[in-house]
Structure 1
Amino acid sequence: MKIVHWTIYYFMLVNFHVIHSNFIDSIRFLDSNEVNENSDCLLSPVILIPGFGGSKMEAKLNKPTAPHWWCSKKSDYFNIWLDYHPVLSFDCWMDNLKLVYDPETRKTKNTPGVVTRVIGWGSTESMEWIWIFGAYFNYISEALVNRGYIRGKNLFGAPYDFRKGPNESTQWFQNLKQLTEYSYGINKNTRVTFIAYSMGGRMLLHFLQQMPQDWKDKYLERTITLAVPWGGSVRPIQAVSVGYDLGIAVFPNDKLKEMSNTFPSLAYLMPSKQFWEPDEALVIMDSKSYSLENIDEFFYDIGQPQMAEIRKDQSVYNNFTAPGVEIHCLFGANIPTAERLYFKSGFNSKPVILDGDGDGQVNRRSLWGCRHWENTPAQAGHAVYFKEFKDVNHLKILYNSESINYILKIVTCDAN
């Protein structure tokens, strides 16, 4: 069985890099000397912020129990997120990564005996390559380096525990503020550019909403966002109710559900009232339908009351106030994207996915959210730009030549 899994893994990895090579060829690279000849162009320091699943994590074990006899109960730190472990033993991996919700504190914690940590703070390397995804922020990083950027000098990363929502990310917000001020200071007080992908854009928005306008005007040049679910997405409802395998068939959906429904971040990314009508059906049964008005009933009905409570905790963070900084919103479209789930034969059946437009993960209405900030008081006069890339899916925007060239033109003053 392990041989089969490794064969599938190898096949996916090889094909992934063959596909990616076709895109990177059309990115316009420049020698760093060519960039630096233009003395009027100051390179704005860049901080990359990943999306859900885009941060590497390590775990250390000292567990009293384990799901199976072959699962390790004691270990030093090892890479836990999307390494070879889920292929070799899915139940062991899932038990180490899932969270436990405490209804008293309304916070989550790891499985007893598991200590986790996000690695690579300030670095881009930990988010450039993610197992299964392959190249994650790598092509954007390499493109920036080929335009004169230097990792650790004016190119940084801000990974976070993507399992959790903003209510458990206070330390990350503080660290991001310090990293922003640091990168500004060591680059001769040059204002910073954030490049945030998917969930990272939502986390960044919440950070910017907390910061005073004079701080943003001093330290920030702009924000570039990629495929951000500003108003949430229907896909997380699928993930926590029946499981979602990220399009990778080696991951069993029923097992993924057991882990996913412990992640507050997925509740954080569910549809919000700013973008969905209160009575608009999200889940349809033969005898009942669920919308934002009664979606918590859905979680109780499928035996996941903790997800209803977690969603209440995260709903207070569906603040859509403008960020108050120049923003460039880039996203894909024209890809079938789940708009609602239809269960023909009860909750235990596989739902029919009723599609609408989007990037395959995020609904179009949510991707376009930034356009609502134009000329709003909270935007404080800063410009809002948005660009749609046809037939570019949620992950592909990270290595699509058009989106990367857009970024390069903005941050490197490239007029070509």
Structure 2
Amino acid sequence: MLLVAVPGDLGNQLEAKLDKPSVVHYICYKKTENFFTLWLNLELLVPYAIDCWIDNMRQWWSGATRETTTSEELHTTGGKLRQMIEEMAEKAGGPVVLIAHSMGNMYTLYFLNQQKQAWKDKYIKAFISLGAPWAGVAKTLRVVTSGDNNRIPLISPLKIRSQQRTAVSTTWLLPYDHSWPKDQVFIKTPTTNYTVKDYEKLYSDIGFRDGWLMRKDTEPLVSDLTAPGVAVHCLYGNGIPTPEAFQYSDMFPDVEPDVVYGDGDGTVNLRSAVQCKRWTGQQKQPVALKELPGNEHVNMLTNITTVDYIKTVLFSP
């Protein structure tokens, strides 16, 4: 039995080789002879060097030049993933187990929704979902509004915000109204409350109108949470204070907010993580939920309970 892992944001690694016409600071490299680790390299996040990192990590997106949509890009990536799964299944002599973490679950769900049922029956034994943000996560609203340094003290949230706003995937993970109350306030300022129905106004008020176009690009991809059509094992952490709402002063949006916490794994809100339960009865394949009390979003990857559960799925008949 073989498995295919689809990592989330913090689980990814990105290498770069530079050849740039200009730089934002004299200490930044225009050209490098070899590839080097760009994400996640903490050595690049120190003062001054972070300006180079932000410029290298920025994604260029324009609503006026959207010749290739997000869905088309995912379709291209999905073709490569499909080919890899088929090759691995042929070598192993049987179907594979897909394991995804964090945002990787959204990509995996989109991929499975594009495949014919006969193909899934032949090549996919199960889909193990770890810490999935099925209904989005509240903390992404802080990311696009005032930035989030992921608790790395060297980084100023406002400094890194310019890079974080360029990531289209961030807007994909804003909370969805299919699971969150339409009157729940996520961002509160002295003059305005923002709910799941106020994203267009929020993006306008923070001076980031392209963000609304990015949201419209990504929202339809898996917003209906169509059942994947394969056996699902949904593992999620809880019991850890998780950002649920943000209160800003009159310096909004250029100030760090006071955070209101709820339940979850420290990143993914519990409300979002358990939405996979809706697939019970929507597909003939089984759907199992496994609660991981006290498991943090990233640390759950090395938790012995998680590892043992994966082994059980891998080696089951």
TM-score per shorter chain, which class? Answer: over 0.9
Aligned to 1:253: 157
Aligned to 1:151: none
SS of 2:92's equivalent in the other structure is coil
Report the structure number with the largest CA radius of gyration.
1
Structure 1 CA distance, aligned partners of 2:73 and 2:79? Answer: 12
Structure 2 CA distance, aligned partners of 1:102 and 1:245? Answer: 25
SS of 1:101's equivalent in the other structure is coil
> Partner letter of residue 301 of structure 2?
L
Paired positions, count:
312
Tell me if 1:332 matches 2:237.
yes
TM superposition score normalised by structure 2:
0.94
Aligned to 1:374: 280
**CA deviation after TM superposition for structure 1 residue 349, in Å:** 2.4
**CA deviation after TM superposition for structure 1 residue 85, in Å:** 2.4
Aligned to 1:67: 24
**CA deviation after TM superposition for structure 1 residue 64, in Å:** 2.0
Tell me if 1:91 matches 2:51.
yes
Structure 1 CA distance, aligned partners of 2:71 and 2:144? Answer: 19
Pick aligned residue for 1:274 from 178, 197, 203: 178
Structure 2 CA distance, aligned partners of 1:324 and 1:59? Answer: 37
Provide the identity percentage: 33
Contact 2:3 2:97 in 1 (8 A): yes
List 4+ stretches of structure 1 deviating above 4 A.
164-167
Aligned Cα root-mean-square deviation (Å): 1.7
**CA deviation after TM superposition for structure 1 residue 171, in Å:** 2.2
Pick aligned residue for 2:36 from 75, 78, 100: 78
Structure 1 CA distance, aligned partners of 2:2 and 2:152? Answer: 35
> Partner letter of residue 51 of structure 1?
G
Aligned to 1:130: none
Aligned to 1:102: 62
Residue deviations 1:298-319 (CA, integer Å, cap 9, x gap): 1111111111111111111123
Aligned to 1:234: 138
Structure 1 CA distance, aligned partners of 2:128 and 2:61? Answer: 34
Contact 2:45 2:154 in 1 (8 A): no
**CA deviation after TM superposition for structure 1 residue 285, in Å:** 1.2
Residue deviations 1:67-125 (CA, integer Å, cap 9, x gap): 111111122332211123233710001100111212123379xxxxxxxxxxxxxxxxx
Structure 2 CA distance, aligned partners of 1:278 and 1:73? Answer: 47
Structure 2 CA distance, aligned partners of 1:235 and 1:229? Answer: 11
Aligned to 1:341: 246
TM superposition score normalised by structure 1:
0.72
Aligned to 1:359: 265
Contact 2:62 2:210 in 1 (8 A): no
SS of 2:273's equivalent in the other structure is helix
Structure 2 CA distance, aligned partners of 1:226 and 1:105? Answer: 35
**CA deviation after TM superposition for structure 1 residue 166, in Å:** 4.9
Name the CA shift for 1:338/1:167 in 2 (closer, same or farther; >3 Å).
Answer: farther
Residue deviations 1:173-198 (CA, integer Å, cap 9, x gap): 0111001100111112x011001111
Name the CA shift for 1:242/1:370 in 2 (closer, same or farther; >3 Å).
Answer: same
> Partner letter of residue 56 of structure 1?
Q
Pick aligned residue for 1:410 from 300, 303, 313: 313
Matches within 5 A, 1:150-229: 166-188=71-93, 190-229=94-133
**CA deviation after TM superposition for structure 1 residue 391, in Å:** 0.9
Name the CA shift for 1:244/1:165 in 2 (closer, same or farther; >3 Å).
Answer: farther
> Partner letter of residue 68 of structure 1?
H
**CA deviation after TM superposition for structure 1 residue 55, in Å:** 2.1
Residue deviations 1:214-262 (CA, integer Å, cap 9, x gap): 1101111101110000110011111121111112212221111110000
Structure 1 CA distance, aligned partners of 2:88 and 2:19? Answer: 38
Contact 1:245 1:251 in 2 (8 A): yes
Pick aligned residue for 2:291 from 376, 383, 388: 388
> Partner letter of residue 400 of structure 1?
N
Structure 2 CA distance, aligned partners of 1:107 and 1:346? Answer: 37
